[in-house]
Chain A
Amino acid sequence: MNGSPPSELDTQIITKNLSFIYESAYKENRGEIDSLLKEKGPSFKDDPKLDKFKALNSIDLSILKGKFIAMVGDTGSGKSTLVRTFNGLIPSFYRGIFFGYVNVLGKDTIQEKVSALSQHVGLVFQNPDNQLVAMTVEREIAFGLENLGMEQSQIREKLTQIMEYLKITHLKDRHPYDLSGGEKQRVAIASILTLEPSVIILDEPTATLDPQAAQSVLNLLKKLNEENKITIIIIEHRLEVILPFCNEIIVMNQGNVLEHGPTQQVLLSSSLQKTGVRIPEYIQMFLQLREKAKYSGTIPTNIDQAVLKLKEWLN
């Protein structure tokens, strides 16, 4: 940002005072919520008594173009719920009570169709079974492009390119349901990449991949981020996997954003310790050295850096 504040053009996603209560939580607590509404009127949404029912609680967030963001937090902290507001799935498909405002690429998500938002914001789910519908891998990846009315020759060219990128060309005639978990995830990612969205959100995309395949997917996402300025937001439990790639971290806890900032800032703050996020042991080592032995350097985000920094410091 070179010290200057970001312009509105740089900002791709803005949320203001965003809260969401799932329909199931409302149904289970209808009496309490309705009496609060009766008592307080429209201002009931800001009453702290409502907080315990909220999957998202008054979230203000601003995401800039071209960032590679890791979204971390306990299970059930609202990570998957939050990203579903970015392409309008919430509140269009997931029913519940929605407060506040989400603006994506200058568009209010309430006003836009999910199909229109989905072309700009691609979402790869945690469980690829939730998004694979075609009879072959090739048809699956072509599905989005066919819906856009793209010519067959262009579709074929794009398919070849994407399948080679993700090393899944050999799977093209297989049924998606016959694939292993990791192979399915790669197909789901491929089907999103074909639409060339401005923002790609991935919900634990490498959790079922073998470590080398996970590295290759993350390298590909980094390449897309650096070369095409596609904003990448990845929900990930394993910090050790995502840290070498991300430049920002969003920390979530009980429906709140505890912190959002550059990787170093978040690693040095105490917000991660307040959550269930597992901090890699080598990072814990540097945090301890900082606290107890006057280490003043930056916190490494991979093993190579850890080796270098420790050697430098002890010399």
Chain B
Amino acid sequence: MSQIFIENLSYTYGNDAYALDQVSLIIQKGEMVGIMGRNGAGKSTLIQQLNGLLIPTSGTVFIDGISTEEYDPYELTKKIGIMFQNPEHQLFCSSVEEELDFSLKNLKISKELKTQYKKSTIEKLELQKLLHKSPWNCSGGERKKVSIACVLCRNPDVIVFDEPTLGQDKYGYQILDQILMNAKNENKTTIVVTHNTEFAYTYLDRIIVLERGKILADGPKEKILTNPVILKNGSLVEPQFSLFHKKINSTLSSQDILSSLVSNSRGFNDLTENLLNHIGRHEHL
């Protein structure tokens, strides 16, 4: 049984246009999936169908074999944790700690387990210094981190991020890196809506590109994020190393040493090492 099965899903906000138009897809447990596409393509609308925030105009969304319309909302939100694009839409308490407490409040688990979930989230996301601060006095990046914490502390089966890299610096990325690695190790399904192709190329396995409410492309990241037609129609840009590789190949013969060094590298870090080794050997001779 697929963890998420979406069948002929259409949704309209009440006007003539369909935000989602006959979308069908399957996401298996443990997949790391990116949902990409231009502004207004239907990405955020799609993820809000997963925990019943939006109910299909037609079609069905099945989570673990049960339609979202048949779920108790409590059970559904426990299974699917969504972190919104704009953290202000989900933060309203007077301190970061109260936000975490509120998020855990309605979980039907023991007090001890709640304390354990809270403690581990604070440590994972390095929130110690923010605990007594009002979310409204946090910076944009810090608020984003708090909103991630409020979702993660509930330990959902499926983690859904809407633009998680927004406003994050190097340290925020390191925390995201850790969260995604943990999710992968725990075989948790992770769905990320993002415009950030560098991030998608680094962390995700499968990319679904939406365009005008329909699926434009769905496949492994290596195929989707390097295909010029999909990139153009999905309003995406190619990841920098892939672009660099193509430009090197288009201007140099495959016999050229630089071309061969680039072809034998998986990314810029790899290429740096290969270049330094090459230069070292050359100088040695």
A residues bordering B, Cβ < 8 Å? 22, 24-25, 28, 73-76, 80, 126-127, 129, 178-183, 204, 207-215, 237-238, 240, 275-278, 280-282, 284-285, 288-289, 292-293, 303-304, 306-307, 310-311, 314
Contact = CB atoms under 8 A, between A and B. Distances in A.
B39 A183 contact: yes
B181 interface: no
B169 A74 contact: yes
Contacts of A303: 240, 243-244, 247
B141 A180 contact: no
Contacts of A213: 38-39, 235
Interface of B: 13, 37-40, 44, 85-86, 88, 132, 134, 137-142, 145, 163, 166-173, 195-198, 235-237, 240-241, 243-244, 247-248, 251-252, 257-258, 267-269, 271-272, 275-276, 279
A76 B279 contact: no
Contacts, number: 144
- Chain A interface, >50% SS class: helix
Given A129-B86, A180-B44, A212 B142 contact: no
A172 to B, nearest CB: 15
A204 B237 contact: no
B241 A281 contact: yes
A127 B88 contact: yes
A182 B39 contact: yes
A315 to B, nearest CB: 9
Contacts of B173: 278
Nearest to A293: B279
B258 A211 contact: no
A238 B257 CA distance: 31
B86 A210 contact: no
A243 B240 CA distance: 13
Contact of B85 (A22, A80, A208, A276): A208
A213 B237 CA distance: 10
14 contacts: A25-B137, A74-B141, A76-B142, A127-B88, A129-B88, A213-B38, A214-B195, A237-B169, A281-B267, A285-B275, A288-B272, A303-B240, A307-B251, A310-B258
Contacts of A285: 268-269, 271-272, 275
Given A75-B169, A282-B244, A284-B269, 7 more contacts: A75-B142, A126-B140, A208-B166, A213-B39, A215-B237, A277-B169, A282-B268
B140 to A, nearest CB: 5
Given A207-B167, A293-B279, A127 B39 contact: no
Contacts of B169: 73-75, 237, 275-278
7 closest pairs, A vs B, by CB?
A75-B141, A182-B39, A276-B169, A281-B268, A76-B139, A211-B237, A212-B235
